[in-house]
Amino acid sequence: MSDAAAPVLVEDRGPVRWLILNRPEARNAQSIAMLEALADALVATAADRSVRAVVLAGNGPSFSAGHDLKEAVSNPTYRENIGSVEGRLWQELDYFVRPVDLLRDLRVPTICRVQGHCIAAAIMLAAAADLVIAADDALFYSAVTRDMAADDVEVPALAWAVGERRARQLLWTSERFGAEQAERFGLVNWVVPRAELDAKVEEVVAQVLEVPSQTLALSKMSLRFMEDRRGRSDSAAFHFLSHQISHNTTDAKSLLQQRFDAAGIEDGRSQGGDR
């Protein structure tokens, strides 16, 4: 059992490990501390053979509001890193990409429990899970492409889940879509009333646990092989570099400088832009 104040709670419920994003007052915006804790929890989970399944959830009214926008203003180390191409690249690999990869790489089945806001980087986590169960109040969207002039880091994950045409629609227009739309698009497996969300998660987990663990692991290997042979990993690797370039365009730098100006930070002239 985790410290109740930890940015990620780790709860073992029998053979099922719940990883719970725990900044409800900030709609579980993903701070650096949260991303570090999530990566650590996923590494520990991968090494624990007693875990048969993982549920990724968010405490409070929302699953996650994406990466914490305030880090660029409130965290001097973060701000320094986004001031250079190499600083941003390694920082985003370590904090933005690594937890998503660790989640996708788990041998055991992963279920994402989504309620309320699932914004921007939160979509990456949902898309990395094997199964997604959403409450009927779930809302998915990203305005990063429009508002930050960044080639949205969610592009490959979202496109893989919903297809390229829908991804263009959602990322280029910043359209918000609800749980039922997400189910139709293929991002979500089940939609249930909010009051029934936990019961549905427990039902699906119980069904998954009826399958022998080694069979599940081998099935995941086969599905991962098929995805990657169709280009999922290559697409993600290419896009990450495109995303890095986009942070250094004139538009992206100008938008981030506006954020620094609004926060009264005078040394932001050389910075790039992020969530």
Please state the domain extents for the chain. Answer: 8-263
Helix, strand or coil, per DSSP, at residue 113 = strand
pLDDT of the residue at 269:
38
The 10s digit of each residue's pLDDT in 99-114 is: 999 999 999 999 999 9
Superfamily of domain 8-263: 2-enoyl-CoA Hydratase; Chain A, domain 1 (3.90.226.10)
Taking alpha carbons only, the member of 182, 98, 110 closest to residue 139 is: 182
Q: For residue 3, what pLDDT band results from cuts at 50, 70 and 90?
A: confident
The pLDDT of 167-188, averaged and rounded, is 96
The pLDDT of 69-84, averaged and rounded, is 92
**Pairing between strand 53-58 and 16-21?**
parallel
The 10s digit of each residue's pLDDT in 194-217 is: 999 999 999 999 999 999 999 999
pLDDT of the residue at 266:
65
At 96, which amino acid appears?
F
The pLDDT of 37-42, averaged and rounded, is 98
Q: Which two tokens stand for residue 186?
A: 């293929």
pLDDT of the residue at 87:
96
Q: For residue 230, what pLDDT band results from cuts at 50, 70 and 90?
A: very high
- Model confidence pTM above 0.75: yes
Could you tell me if 145 and 88 are in contact, meaning their C-beta atoms sit under 8 angstroms apart?
no
